[in-house]
Amino acid sequence: MLAAERKNLILEKLQDEKRVVVSELSEQFEVSEETIRRDLDKLEKMGLATKTYGGAVLVENSNAEMPFQVRRKKNLQGKRVIAEIIAGLVSDGDHIIMDPSTTAVAIVKALSDKKRLTIVTNSIELLVELGDASGWDVISTGGTLKENYLALVGPQAVECINSFNADKLIMSCKGIDMEKGITDANELFSQVKKAMLRSAKQIILAADHTKFEKIAFSKICEVADIDMVVTDVRPSETWMEYFKDKGIDCLYGEEN
């Protein structure tokens, strides 16, 4: 097993159980306890865990983002709900910008019966997923690969996105808050998403219920800058009234 794969599995265990024990991980992965301690050192440096005597605990309020391969396994049902709703909003021939999110992967799968779509993305995972998409135009932004995220960022990505005028942007976030707006964990991600906002006629925020009333490090935009929110569970009445006041449509899958 590769070290990166082992690290992701440790993160999954941390998310599920909130704490891990060095001796148990050593036995599970058949590596030395010293190797596990080095893995936990790396997770601590990433801001995802805090080492304790004999193990580590999850940092639950961290602004650090979990690696893509870990995030993609969380709230799968919610992502499917969001994907099905968004599929109903997309028409044949649409030009769509999509950011590098785990929800975006579910969305492109739900769009499989659409024809003549053009997808512009900075997501390596989406490029792989769409590698055999017949009749679609798939455009990569280029840019610098961000470690652990399967995302392309930087000036080249921004310049590419600025050259397009898309029908829709389907965007994710780490947090949505009435006062602090829509935020992400990393400034590089926010810079690219700000360019995406400028390059699309309709802005659709795909955010599951866990993102509401959360604030991450870097601001993308105000909530009022988006046209529609698509989520998995009906937001609170306070949020529904807020969206109505701002002229934002909100589509959801289930009653709260």
Q: Is residue 254 pLDDT above 80, yes or no?
A: no
Nearest C-alpha neighbor of 196 from the set 146, 142, 249, 141: 141
Q: How far apart are CA 160 and CA 56, in angstroms?
A: 42
Residue 131 shares a structural domain with residue 201: yes
Residue 107 shares a structural domain with residue 200: yes
Output the six-digit token pair for 168.
Answer: 């829709």
Output the six-digit token pair for 152.
Answer: 């392309």
* pLDDT, mean of residues 139-156: 91
Q: How many domains are there within the chain?
A: 2
User: Between these two residues, 171 and 69, which has the higher pLDDT value?
Assistant: 171
- What's the CATH code of the domain at 129? 3.40.50.1360
Residue 80 DSSP one-character state = H
Domain boundary among 62, 80, 96: 62
Residue 139 shares a structural domain with residue 173: yes
36, 30 Cβ separation under 8 angstroms: no
pLDDT at 63: 57
Mean residue pLDDT of the chain comes to 90
Domain boundary among 27, 45, 62: 62
Residue 138 shares a structural domain with residue 235: yes
Q: Is residue 88 pLDDT above 90, yes or no?
A: yes
Residue 85 shares a structural domain with residue 207: yes
Residues whose CB is less than 8 angstroms from the CB of residue 43 and which lie 6 or more positions away in sequence, other chains included: 7, 10, 11, 14, 49, 56
Q: Is residue 50 pLDDT above 80, yes or no?
A: yes
Residue span of the structural domain in which 39 resides: 3-62
Residue 182, classed as helix, strand or coil, is: strand
Residue 57 shares a structural domain with residue 77: no
Q: How far apart are CA 88 and CA 84, in angstroms?
A: 7
